[in-house]
Structure 1
Amino acid sequence: MAAPGGQAGEPWWGAAPGRDGRTRFRLWAPDATEVVLELDDARRHRLQRRDDGSFDATLDAPPGTRYRYRIDGREPVPDPASRWQPDGVHGHSVVVDPEAYAWQHTDWCGRPWREAVLYELHVGACGGYAGVQAQLPKLAALGITAIELMPLNAFPGQRNWGYDGVLPYAPVAAYGTPDELKALIDAAHGHGLMVFLDAVYNHFGPDGNYLHQYAEGFFNAQAPTPWGPAIDFNQPAVQRYYLDNALMWLHEYRFDGLRLDAVHAIVPNDFLETLRQTVVASLPPHRHVHLVLENEFNQAFRLADGFTAQWDDDFHNALHVLLTGEEEGYYAGFADDPSAHLARVLAEGFAYQGQADHRGHRRGEPSGHLPPTKFVVFAQNHDQIGNRAKGDRLSTLLSSSALRAALALTTLTPMIPLFFMGEPWGAREPFLFFTDYAPPLDEAVREGRRREFAHFAAFADPEARAAIPDPNAASTFAASRCDIAAADQGEGAEFAAWFTALLRVRAERLVPHLDAARALGAEVLAPGAIRASWQLGAQVLQVEMNFGRVAVSAPPPGGELLHAQNSTAHATMLAPDSLRAWLRDAAS
């Protein structure tokens, strides 16, 4: 498999076509006695068993050939490393030529991490690969520098967040073809945009995963997770499955980075370092590729050892409590003193650095030694909106001034900002949890969703829970679609202009100095009011914010006012829902 400016090598699993119309097929099925490859022209071939538990054969089967595996005479199943499933996760797999797409922007090498302004989106809610591609000029004009796609691995039906995927190598057919995905990435590079993929390596969804039938050793029953037995990363074949998958996305599809979902559920966790080293070894020095973690454990050492950054849920959770007063669910861990938690995040990265949370669980490691760019911060993302029963955004929960102050804080720290689909123009559409399961799984998911909120005060009543949108209803997905045309109309256009100006300040005044940024500390001025400072080379950035209910004393520190939200340069008091950012010479 050719890689742009690097080499990934031929994948071990799956169907690897050669240049002569022949394809090597390989399946790891250590529990099987016989594996028969069934091609779409009715040909059948018994594969040869190897000592490592794999079965393989090289046959006349050019790209476009459809195939499935029949294992020990049971019903045929798709290839777990299928590159394309046009008929869904239970249908035929298709041999794909990884080099067929003609790339236009072959000199693209990515962008430095300091330049990242991430925009997370759901491809289906944006109209598929073609729909996202049509949005690229506007996103670039807003000041976005990277789009992050929610998971693309094939899932059952036409609608899903993507975290229930079961075929990690196959981009879901509901959004378009593999080459249409490559065309999207190619076009993004032409607009100067990086493209990230949310990769799920910690579990499979509940429908369409057949590995248990012939490779029980793929899973570790002694390590339970919320999704069932953990994937067993002690197995060399399992490691290769995911290593090759990461290399496929980065080299064959030319993604600029991966956001690795819930890595705390990867067992043993040291596989993460194997993955990082494998990716780094495949890259030339001039190419920028970024590996970003979602990690409940707040493992600072992973960031110190080479991972690019981590999603900083502590930032969001503390900020959300300050903004809304909500204290249920995971917000309970920040309800005791949200101002102190947010101040610690701004000064040191993580709020939880080994302390016990509200459940009595100790989490985290000291993080104050890490540079601010090791943390991705956000006021909203898919989880924090979609995990709400009604999928409501901050734009429907807050005043305009509070919302803008929150986004200004997200933008004007030396941390890396992430914005969710629609956020740059103040979208008000919900983002709901949606699926497309067949019976009886649809009912199980529907009832499970309602039980999830039974302990929340607002949904203690069964009638209130019954009003939670049905995840399996097509209307739930339709309500979650977000039209970027709103960024050019009325209030959306005014909000987008404000947002664009804010990102311009970041690009021009902060980004050139971020590689040398270091935190100088943060202090709580009053409940909800915080002052934080960072060294940016020869200058100091100071951000003052007030998410409390009363004005607080904050004399102007001097220097250049970069941005004032609901405040003025000369004011000696910070009003509620206000923020100011200053830049001054360090010597002063």
Structure 2
Amino acid sequence: MPRPDHQPTSESERLAAWGPELLSNGRARFRLWAPDKRAMILELDGAAPVTMERSADGWFSAVADAEPGARYRFRLDDELVVPDPASRAQSGGVHGWSVLIDLTAYRWRSAEWRGRPWEETVIEEVHAGVLGGFPGLAERLPEMAERGVTAIEIMPVAAFAGSRNWGYDGVLPYAVAESYGSPEDFKTLIDRAHDLGLMVFLDVVYNHFGPDGNYLGAYASDFFDADADTPWGGAVAVSREPVRRFFIDNAMMWLDEYRIDGLRFDAVHAIADNAFLDEMAKEVRAAFPDRYIHLVLENEHNDAERLAPDLYDAQWNDDFHNVLHVLLTGEDEGYYAGFADNPTAKLARCLAEGFIYQGETPPGSDHARGTPSGGLSTTRFVSFLQNHDQTGNRAMGERLTVLTDSDRLRAATALLLLMPQIPLLFMGDYEGSHSPFLFFTDFHDDLADAVREGRRGEFASFSAFADPEARERIPDPNAQSTFNTSRPEPGPDAERWRRLYRELLTLRHTQIVPRLASAQGLGVEVLGKGAVTARWRMADSAVLSIAINLGEDGVCFPDVEGETLFELQRAGAPASFRATLAA
């Protein structure tokens, strides 16, 4: 798909674009970058095969009679036919036919929607599959809007093998998963969200492909970097122009064709190419000058430079989650080890400066992590107590509702929702869900065995799973029951949690959000083990003060004379949390 802001200047540039293009008079142009191949056949379901023309740089193209709904694929040789890697829809899964889609057919009801300012953002992360696909998720939107959420962030929807998956095993990034619904179903969901004033963010994966259904290596080995590796296999070679365009144009597609309001880029540290990240952000900014478009990174490098005003709005702040998890549960294995030493001081730094690691080397690591972040606005950080990763990456998928006591979790929830960083909730939080969120897939045969055993092997170094018999109790990712169990159900104290979230989010929208732009930290004081107080200068020069005690011992919070004390206990917050505002 050509970029919205860009008109091709030559025939060769126009042809060197991913995905099909509908032409006039019932015809379409089909394209594929296959530099490893000398010949390629276009197959259209019910029509004669078409020999494609090859350019010197490895692009194949062909024009053929084809209407929207036509099924097509590419034949590499007598043994292998492949789908279009830029297919907008599939018929019969990721190994089946690609489907030609009219990208302009949908008529938007909310055509005037321009989004919302970043400061208003309160995100709820959701998984479309466990919530009933796009239609099922759409039914939940009014309740989300009513409770004060202003944006849903949908875990990846790119087509994957099987009928259920977290989404991070996608292999066709331009096509929505058939089990969730059609492209029109997805647009209907987005339209409904915009009608309700909700932004829609989408999690996209540009650092790897899943293990089943990725055919790119069969005809475009240069798509991958043989000299670089990631936890998921060979790194994508974004330094090569066709690969850059594949991903940048994909980002443009979601924002343009689907009117998505923002993207969360998964694990960009595994891409390891800041020039690519910067180019993508700048193209997006130039393409949509009249809309609020929000770009968020997941980046273990804690790279403050990527959060410059013309690049990315924010980064997921794993540091906040990790240190709060240690304080709430006492766990200190795995990635929590880097936050177990003096977690109170680490929480203080997080509240004051955003990142905890700003150039230091975490315990157990052999390299420094992070850059200084104290000069950034507080809204450059998206913080959370739970999300798909730190819940689903647990062996048994437990939520904090079953890992810590209610009062401490309520205090941490109040901190999350009233501090000036951007809050992210995970589906089920609002109702105090006890349902686990497990890692699930739908692989078969040898791959299913490998994923199951690999999953159990990941936890061999954890004390609770050192015994092989204990590891056998870890749910099989491929079992239907694992997926079914991951649907969030209201917890036993659901109404009390609903009241807490409603009251806290009302306070956030009325008292915090109007003052949030350019908020800066004024300092943090450690009051005792697990107890801190923090202050921020808000946009109108008011001072927001928050005090929290997650420790076992009582502490005295500082005097609040001259300040407006939020009546949080009436909302269900414990006495171990206090928030005040001084004009």
- Interval of TM-score (by shorter of Structure 1 and Structure 2): over 0.9
- When structure 1 is superposed on structure 2, of 34-43 and 552-561 the one drifting more is 552-561
Report what 1:528 is aligned to. 530
C-alpha deviations, 1:321-366, integer Å up to 9, x for none?
A: 0111000000000011111111111100100000001123200000
Pair 1:279-2:284 in alignment: yes
CA–CA distance in 2 between the matches of 1:352 and 1:132? 36
Of 329, 334, 339, the match for 1:334: 339
Q: CA deviation at 1:72?
A: 3.6
**2:252 alignment partner AA:** L
SS of 1:549 mapped into structure 2: coil
For 2:514, the aligned partner's letter is P
Contact 2:504 / 2:571 at 8 angstroms: preserved in 1? no
1:2 to partner: Cα distance: 10
Letter in 1 for 2:57: D
Report whether the alignment pairs 1:553 with 2:556: yes
Rounded to whole Å, the distance in 2 between the matches of 1:453 and 1:119 is 28
For residue 421 of structure 1, what is the aligned residue in structure 2? 427
Q: Which amino acid aligns with 1:534?
A: W
SS of residue paired to 1:203: coil
Tell me by how many angstroms 1:494 deviates. Answer: 2.7
Contact (CA 8 Å) 1:567, 1:580: kept in 2 or not?
no
> In structure 2, what residue type is equivalent to 1:200?
V
The answer for the alignment partner of 1:372 in structure 2 is: 378
1:152-172 deviation digits (Å, cap 9, x = unpaired)? 010010110000000000000
User: Using the alignment, how far apart are the partners of 2:558 and 2:423 within structure 1?
Assistant: 27
Counterpart code for 1:368? G
What pairs up with 1:36-185 in 2 under 5 angstroms? 36-185=41-190
Matches of 1:566 and 1:425 in 2, distance apart?
A: 18
Deviations 1:163-182 (A, max 9, x none): 00000000000001000000
Matched, 1:238 2:243: yes
Aligned mates of 2:282, 2:416 — CA distance in 1: 31
Q: How does 1:9-24 map to 2 (within 5 A)?
A: 12-24=17-29
User: Is the 2:500–2:572 contact (alpha carbons within 8 Å) kept by the matching residues of 1?
Assistant: no
CA distance in 1, matches of 2:121, 2:567: 20
Q: Residue type of the partner of 2:301?
A: F
1:564 partnered with 2:568? yes
What is the rounded CA distance, in whole Å, between the counterparts of 2:24 and 2:120 in structure 1? 40
Deviation at 1:525, TM superposition (A): 1.1
Does residue 360 (structure 1) correspond to residue 362 (structure 2)? The answer is: no
- Which residue in the other structure is 1:580 paired with? 578
Q: CA deviation at 1:75?
A: 1.5
Judge conservation of contact 1:404–1:565 (CA < 8 Å) in 2. Answer: no
CA contact (8 A) 2:530 2:550 kept: yes
Return the alpha-carbon distance in structure 2 between the equivalents of residues 548 and 8 of structure 1. 56
Give the whole-Å Cα distance in 2 for the aligned partners of 1:8 and 1:388.
44
Amino acid across the alignment from 2:557: A
Query: Which moves more between the two structures, 272-281 or 549-558?
Result: 549-558
For 1:364, the aligned partner's letter is G
CA contact (8 A) 1:160 1:436 kept: yes
Gaps of 5+ in 2: 8-13
1:293-304 map, 5 Å: 293-304=297-308
AA partner of residue 178 (structure 1): P
Cα distance in 2 between the residues matched to 1:402 and 1:567: 15
Other structure's SS at 1:248 match? helix
Q: Secondary structure at 2:568's aligned position in 1?
A: strand
Q: Structure 1 residue 539 and structure 2 residue 542: aligned?
A: yes
Bigger drift between 8-17 and 32-41 goes to 8-17
TM-score of the pair, normalised by structure 1: 0.95
Counterpart mapping for 1:447-486 below 5 A: 447-483=453-489, 486=490
Q: How does 1:303-318 map to 2 (within 5 A)?
A: 303-305=307-309, 306-318=311-323
Q: Distance in 1 between matches of 2:498 and 2:194?
A: 23
Deviations 1:395-445 (A, max 9, x none): 111211111111111111110000001101111100000000011100100
- Secondary structure of the 2:461 match is coil
Match for residue 199 of structure 2?
194
Unaligned runs of 5+ in 1: none
User: How many Å separate the matches in 1 of 2:366 and 2:523?
Assistant: 27
* Residues 455 and 472 of structure 1: CA distance in aligned 2, closer, same or farther (over 3 Å): same
Q: TM-score, normalised by structure 2?
A: 0.96
Distance 1:555 1:406 in 2: 19
Mapped to 1, the partners of 2:277 and 2:26 lie a distance apart of: 36
What is the CA–CA distance in structure 1 between the aligned matches of 2:273 and 2:291, rounded to whole Å? 29
Contact between 1:231 and 1:267, CA under 8 Å: does it hold in 2?
no
User: Alpha-carbon deviation of 1:42?
Assistant: 3.6
Counterpart position of 2:269: 264
Q: SS of the counterpart of 1:270?
A: helix
| Pairwise CA distance, 1:565 | 4.9
Cα drift, residue 292 of structure 1: 0.1
Mapped partners of 2:569, 2:411: distance in 1: 6
For 1:65 and 1:457, the matched residues in 2 are separated by: 54
Q: Which residue identity is paired with 1:225?
A: T
CA distance in 2 between partners of 1:106 and 1:551 (Å): 54
Deviations 1:507-552 (A, max 9, x none): 0000011113111111211110011110012210000000111101
Q: CA-to-partner distance for each residue in 1:172-206, whole Å, 9 max, x for gaps? A: 00001000000000000000000000000000000
> Residue 27 in 1 paired to residue 25 in 2?
no
Count of aligned pairs between the two proteins: 572
Could you say what secondary structure the match of 2:63 adopts? strand
For the residue of structure 2 that corresponds to 1:516, the secondary structure is coil
Residue-by-residue CA offset, 1:238-271 (whole Å, 9 max, x unaligned) = 0110111000000000000000000011143320
Shift of the 563–377 alpha-carbon distance from structure 1 to 2, 3 Å rule, reads farther
- Residue 414 of structure 2 is matched in structure 1 by 408
Any idea what the Cα deviations from partners look like across 1:7-61, whole Å, max 9, x if unmatched? 5768910111124321111100000011100000142001100122100012211
1:523 corresponds to which letter in structure 2? E
1:515 has 2:517 as partner? yes
Give the structure 2 partner of residue 391 of structure 1.
Answer: 397
